[in-house]
Chain A
Amino acid sequence: MGQDIGQTPTQLSHLHALESESIEILREVAASFDRPVMMYSIGKDSSVLLHLARKAFFPSRIPFPLLHVNTTWKFREMIAFRDRMAQEYEFDLITHTNPDGLRDNINPFDHGSSRYTDIMKTAALRQALDAGKYDAAIGGARRDEEKSRAKERIFSHRNAQHAWDPKNQRPELWRLFNTRLNPGESMRVFPLSNWTELDIWTYIYSEGIPIVPLYFARHRPVVERQGTLIMVDDERMPLAPGEAPREEMVRFRTLGCYPLTGAIRSDAATLAEIIMEMQASRTSERQGRLIDSDQAGSMEKKKQEGYF
């Protein structure tokens, strides 16, 4: 991407401009905070974020650790991919699972998606951030994903309880980010704020960024629940009497916990096919995530409580 543009002075293209903006944000974090951390969710946005972080600090290694909050219900392919990336790119990988949730065997089937997410993701994240005393947590959220995200700052302030106050955000002018914190407070930082889903895919395409194979269509064992295709990734998935997984050609537009992530029927087995399919598609990407449709304004509520 970041090409040497030769002798003619020129305006940067849209993707070049986004890349530079994100790199500038990542460097600002490294220069301004004592203990930054980067959230690593293993999805395509995380893959782009990881790529940008490598670029931002090259030839240095990424000067902060990557944190993966493991709910224990992630797709197996995600975990394998994560470990391979950590080895290949030599970043510090920290993983955390909520020990209380683990002890009580909190899972999406018996406890409902809302309670499960609250304990295994939101509370787990707070635990991990507190334990690491991180003062800045970098996330891959984009403003085009969801309405409440469209209003969040790039440097988004959190109080000592990790809560977001949407009515009291710091004005963010030019590229002048106010990175100052009082003791106990922290910052969430979103370098991909101005990227769209299409930008992410075209960037992955032009940079050859590795992503988890689950994004590509393949025959996978699925069951259909409330109109959503759920992949049976391991034997923990309870099946109703008479319910049997069937092989379908599916892929995922977004990755998370397999019992909560809907697959779509698709034949798109290459990046180019994914991008073509996306251009023709008429549904927004978070639709495949069950947690957002639990209640109106649910993402905003989760964010106020500390969810990413």
Chain B
Amino acid sequence: MLKATQETALDVSADTDIALWLEQQTGKSLLRFLTCGSVDDGKSTLIGRLLYDSQLILDDQLASLKNESRNRHVGEEGIDFSLLVDGLTAEREQGITIDVAYRFFSTDKRKFIVADTPGHEQYTRNMATGASNADLALLLVDARKGLLTQTRRHSFILSLIGVKHIVLVVNKIDLVDYSQEVFERIEAEYRAFAAELGFKSLAAVPVSALRGDNIVQRSERMPWYGGEPLLPYLETVEVGEDRAQRPLRFPVQWVNRPNLDFRGFSGTVASGVVKVGDEVLVAASRKPAVVTRIVTMDGDFERAVAGQAVTLVLDREIDISRGDVLTHSGATPEYSNQFQARLIWMNDEPAYPGRSYLLKIGSQTVPATITGLKHRTNVNTLEKSAARTLELNEVGTVTVATDKPVAFDPYKDNGLTGGFILIDRISNRTLGAGTIDYGLRRAQNLTYQSFDVNREVRAQMKAQTPRIVWFTGLSGSGKSTIANFIEKRLTAEGKHAYILDGDNVRHGLNKDLGFTDTDRIENIRRVAEVARLMADSGLIVLVSFISPFRNERRMAREIAGDIDFLEVYVDTPLEVCEARDPKGLYAKARAGQIKNFTGIDSAFEAPERADIVLHGAEHDPVDLADELYVRLIG
């Protein structure tokens, strides 16, 4: 078959027509655009119309469409075009678009990939998703309604994600009698709003997607409109940005090592050009090497440009692995563990400063924390206001610290090395997307001072192994009681221990913190740091904190680093704790006098893999303390 195919190809190359046609096919340019706007502005209908008018709807699709279009709002052709693009059953039933759908069509001049994105507010994240890979956006407005909150929100997101070319499509112009005055008013209003959003081009077209006005042909019903119809405009608009002209960024994706004689670094050139003979630098280590080969299955290349997936071979053995970025000296990316960024939050649970997330940028994935929320931008007015958390679909300016430095560029300089996502460390969901403004260099000047007397020395003096014992459980579960017994017994045996108790710490170090989720996270972070310092001084630290969230208990464990860390879950049922109610807090919470009380109106996330589980309702605290003591001292 391999042979037959090759013969076939040879036969055909004699046929000039098809060869030319195929050459044209393979040489076409590509435009990726997205459609966005408010719900019911007719996005799906517009895309269906583009497909229909460029004669891309196939016979069987057309037949099934006509069938499905009965009882629906249809144009002169008797077809509801939105049915072409509204793919999911739920959407068809509800008559709305709920996710990004990708469509493909092509004309003689161009190929198009269309992302149809939803207008509903709760799905704004999907719009950002569609925008991240688009060169241009069609922003739909209903001529009867003019600019809406969603129009502004989406424009802001387009600007944030860096979509530079906008077409304002004033749809349903037939429903306002093809009014020039309505169109011009909307266009003027939008231009005023968009002035500060940094778009490179902005065109406005009055259309009726349902009736086909100004889609492919100029509409006779709007002689006053002097511009191009939509499709001809899309075929010719210049959006090109030559990534090859930018500095070299080659993120190493995969180390290619088929045998001992070959070691290559596979990746896609994100920007710039790399040539055989070039000296390249590893962004992190600054170690140089010379490119000796650019390997592909189609033979070695002399050079590779932005967008090409290749394998580089270097002249010497230097330490390079996935996540490293190769670059030219003199034009290196920033390399830092702190930066300022704009963050779009895409998750139901808000973004909390202080919580540890995973950050992915290029092929690098590292733990990271939002260290500060500078402000939140009101996407309707573009006004900035102070905020403590970032809710679903909100946009904030944040500072981010990563556990180790990463290589990056400001997003405005390089979209592929300046954009990142944040991932939840427990559910693994994608929580938000960020664009880096600039690196913060403070942390690079802060280094650790090392001293001669270290933890090992201090531990030997005390003849014990320093460790952190982290008690978690509901209020009244018995944490402090058990910790108290343990401390007494340790002290009696000549050991050095200390209890960090939630209530006590809140009277001093943490008295500025309340009980919101954000404050609870900061509460735990500080205590974890204190516990680490104490254990480093040689102590056995008993931490008795409700610590209701898995994420922060994980953070505490990570802060402890190489210090022995034991998570003890005092598992006492809520009814038992509430019956005990040693401080009368449950009664107050039930009466509504205390807000955000764990177990009542704030969640307790039970540990899934605690080191030790103590059943507080079934045993006497003294027995539980003895059991734990054996585990501690052995």
Contacts and interface: CB of A to CB of B under 8 A. Distances in A.
A54 B5 CA distance: 18
A91 B520 CA distance: 53
A84 B286 CA distance: 47
B18 A275 contact: yes
A144 B84 CA distance: 12
A9 B8 contact: no
A128 B161 CA distance: 41
Nearest to A181: B428
A58 B301 contact: no
A206 interface: yes
B111 interface: yes
Interface residues of B, number: 93
Contact of A272 (B8, B92, B244, B419): B8
B22 A81 contact: no
B1 A84 contact: yes
A176 B9 contact: no
Interface of A: 1-7, 9-17, 19-20, 23-24, 27-28, 30-31, 54-61, 81, 84, 88, 143-144, 146-151, 166-167, 169-176, 178, 180-182, 193-194, 196, 198, 202, 204-206, 208-213, 270-272, 275-276, 281-284, 287, 296-297, 300-301
Interface string B74-90: 00000000000111111
A183 B459 CA distance: 38
B246 to A, nearest CB: 11
B104 interface: yes
A24 B253 contact: yes
Contact of A15 (B26, B90, B428): B26
Contacts, number: 237
A210 B5 contact: yes
B18 A282 contact: no
A174 B268 contact: no
Contacts of A58: 295-297, 311
Given A148-B87, A202-B22, A60 B257 contact: yes
Contacts of B346: 171
B421 A178 contact: yes
B133 interface: yes
A38 to B, nearest CB: 15
B90 A167 contact: yes
Contacts of A144: 103-104
A31 B322 contact: yes
Nearest to A209: B5
B602 interface: no
Given A14-B28, A180-B423, A300 B1 contact: no
Contacts of B9: 205, 208, 271
Given A28-B363, A208-B9, 20 more contacts: A2-B308, A4-B299, A9-B244, A12-B307, A20-B309, A59-B295, A88-B2, A150-B103, A151-B88, A166-B88, A167-B90, A171-B433, A173-B133, A176-B419, A178-B421, A182-B428, A194-B113, A208-B5, A213-B4, A276-B18
B29 A170 contact: no
Contact of A14 (B99, B111, B297, B308): B111
B254 interface: yes
Interface in B270-311: 273, 295-303, 305, 307-311
